[in-house]
Amino acid sequence: MSIHPIQWERRGLQASLAVLSIAALLISIAMAVSIGEMTIPLATTFKAVVNRVFGAGFEISGIQEGIIWSYRLSRALVAACCGAALALSGVILQALLRNPLAEPYVLGISAGASTGAVAVMILGFGHGVLTLSSGAFAGAIGAFALVSLLAAGSGGSHDRIILAGVAGSQLFNALTSYIVTTSANAEQARGVMFWLLGSLGGVRWPDVYLAAPVALGGFVVCIFHARALDAFTFGTDAAAALGVPVARVRIVLLGLTAIMTATMVSIVGSIGFVGLVIPHAARFIVGPGHLRLIPASVISGAIFMVLADIISRIIIPQQILPIGVVTALFGAPAFAFILYKARRAV
Amino acid sequence: MTISVKDARWTASGKMIVDGITLDIEAGQMLGLLGPNGSGKSSLLRLICGLRRVESGVIRLGDDEIGLIPRAQLSRRIAIVEQQATTDAQVTVNDVVRLGRTPHRSPLSQWTMRDDAAVNHALESVGMLEKRAQSWHTLSGGERQRVHIARALAQTPAELLLDEPTNHLDIQHQLDILSLISRLPVTSVVALHDLNLAAMFCDRIAILHHGRVIAAGDPGTVLTEELVADVFGVRTFIDRSPHHGKPHIHFLAAHRS
């Protein structure tokens, strides 16, 4: 029989779990700031942040402050937002589509974003008006629309959308490869390759100002719909029979998923497995109720991405691994584990 | 009367599924919907609880037209137990029954004593109070059906609709579920296949055929050999049961042609 979520019996335990997980997120961000080619003590990191935020005026070297503030902190914050938003998208899609394998990457949204980005980067669509990010954004929305139409046209059942997603992914990946092989020079091809695998390399503060509101807003909207998501446990009709305005909830939450995924992919490239694995891991700890599952997924997603970023920077000396490679290296075995469990549950 | 259906029509993929049904359901009664597969029983139930919209005709709940009642308000009044609804989620009996409180709660409201009382009462009515912490996936078919009924009762409805609640259950559980429904202090509409069980438990029955009501009334007058032959295409001999006084349907071997 399948494994039951641990029953947290006392509210005190829940509260301490919440405090602990937020502390773990802050510590992992602090570690991400401290660890790197130049190791910076945690105390210095703390001083630099206090200096900036409260103007405390601690004595620290300008180089260290520069690395902390303009490079590593923004990078860690974007990683956290990105992990949170992708995990949140996974939670929403898995609940609404009632399919444990649903996530933005599997549904082809990330592939669409890649095609959009590559079209701008290499073909020069938009003649400089469109940035790479907006190209990715447009691609993600386009892919989402196409996969939704395909799923609706084929009967709209919950397995269909996964099949439609697979078809969409293949199509957009093929388009991306077509553009790269026919139009890109060697240097462009290498740049695209890195972008496609996910890269936090060029991330700076303006990206934080974009990613943070999207992740935070997504979280708030999602928490507001936690009970509606619970009501989907036995399907769409069951949710409607429980008084949930199904059409409105679907439009709001699927739209939110598209916006969150498109934003994150446009900043860091396509990163798989976070949206798939994190909700399952969180469900394992706090159970299926969305009022707890949503915050748990957001925080674990954020921690996972920040840690994945640290690993991507230190696992090979003098070289940064694309973060998508790290998330997939950990995500693929977890994916296999879920498939195995899903088979046993039938 | 609580629910009144007037000339309701509904089509799916160009096929008329509900073809002008008129039916009145009186308060506190248990109405059995009988009819062959595809006769429109499930569709009628969905129309009554507002999951589908009638294309023409009117369905009223008390004095109000179903289509004009806000979704959440409707779900506080009327609950449905659908066929074989299941889930992959790792939910407990308690989680499922708590879902029944959804229409009573706003997105951010706290769980109240009233919610708690409704859930406890619902679990008690179906005899699942001791198993409330058990996982959904460890329950038998009969237990799952009871939990669904408890979830519906937690909505504290005045009307309860059930779509073939005895499907795939062994005979003991079939009797068990139907006597449970007949004891509940609500108006209930139950789609059924077993004519004898319907005759035994329902206060009234309505026979559906090709999306129309062929006959409606108390089981003793509605269930005749001619009608069963017309609608279900089987030969029967019907007499009164010496045990409960309700009609008893004996099925006879088909004609050799």
**CATH number of the domain residue B216 falls in:** 3.40.50.300
Q: Which of B66, B73, B75 to mutate: most A Cβ within 10 Å?
A: B75
Where in the sequence is the domain holding B165, given as residue range(s)? 3-251
Q: Mutate one of B45, B69, B71, B104 to test the A interface: name it (highest A CB count within 10 A).
A: B71
Q: Is B105 touching A (CB cutoff 8 A)? A: yes
**Cα–Cα distance for residue pair B104/A277, rounded to 1 Å:** 33
Of A2, A224, A244, the CB nearest to B102: A244
pLDDT of residue A306: 94
Least CB–CB distance from B80: residue in A100, A241, A288: A241
Q: Which residue of A has its CA nearest to B101?
A: A242
Residue B222 forms part of a structural domain: yes
In angstroms, the Cα distances linking B44 to A221, B6, B49 are 35, 12, 9
Nearest CA distance, A21 vs chain B (angstrom): 23
Fill in the amino acid letter for B251. Answer: F
Q: What is the DSSP string of chain B?
A: --EEEEEEEEEETTEEEEEEEEEEE-TT-EEEEE-STTSSHHHHHHHHTTSS--SEEEEEETTEEGGGS-HHHHHHHEEEE-TT---SS--BHHHHHHHTTGGGS-TTPPP-HHHHHHHHHHHHHTT-GGGTTSBGGG--HHHHHHHHHHHHHHT--SEEEEESTTTT--HHHHHHHHHHHHHSSSEEEEEES-HHHHHHH-SEEEEEETTEEEEEE-HHHH--HHHHHHHH---EEEEE-TTT-SEEEEE-PPPP-
What value of ipTM does the predicted structure carry? Answer: 0.88
CA separation for the pair B80, B189 (Å, rounded): 9
Model pLDDT, residue A346: 43
- Which of A7, A243, A288 faces B71 most closely, judged by CB atoms? A243
Structural domain tally of chain B? 1
Min Cα distance A244 → chain B (Å) is 7
For A237, the closest of B82, B108, B133 (CB atoms) is: B82
Write the residue in B71, B80, B107 that is nearest to A227 by C-beta: B107
Does residue B81 belong to the interface with chain A, where contact is any CB pair within 8 Å?
A: no
Tell me if B256 is assigned to some domain: no
Q: How far apart are CA B206 and CA A266, in angstroms?
A: 59
A interface with B, Cβ–Cβ < 8 A, is 1-2, 4-5, 7, 98, 100, 224-228, 230-231, 233-235, 237-238, 240-245, 283, 287-289, 342, 345
Q: Is B102 close to A345, i.e. CB distance below 8 A?
A: no
Distance (Å) from the alpha carbon of B221 to chain A's nearest alpha carbon: 34
User: Sign of the C-alpha dihedral, residues A263, A266, A267, A272?
Assistant: positive
List average pLDDT for each run of 10 residues in chain B, which is 257 residues long.
87 88 92 92 93 92 90 93 86 94 86 92 91 92 92 94 90 90 93 94 94 92 92 92 91 72
Residue with tokens 């503030």, as numbered in its chain = A69
Tens digit of pLDDT at every position of chain A (346 positions): 333 444 445 567 778 888 999 999 999 999 998 888 778 888 888 888 888 888 777 877 888 888 888 888 999 999 999 999 999 999 999 998 888 888 888 888 888 988 888 888 787 766 555 677 788 888 888 998 888 888 777 766 667 788 888 899 999 999 988 988 888 788 888 877 777 788 888 888 889 999 999 999 999 999 999 999 999 999 888 999 999 998 899 889 988 998 898 888 888 887 878 888 899 888 888 888 999 999 999 999 999 999 999 998 888 888 888 888 888 888 788 767 766 765 555 4
- The three-state secondary structure class of A9 is coil
Do B75 and A241 lie within an 8 Å CB cutoff?
yes
Model pLDDT, residue A6: 45
pLDDT in tens, A154-192: 766 667 788 888 899 999 999 988 988 888 788 888 877
Q: What confidence tens digit (pLDDT) does each residue in A307-327 have?
A: 999 998 888 888 888 888 888
Yes or no, beta carbons of A288 and B91 under 8 Å apart: yes
Q: Determine the length of chain A.
A: 346
d(CA B203, CA B48): 19
Residue B257 lies in a domain: no
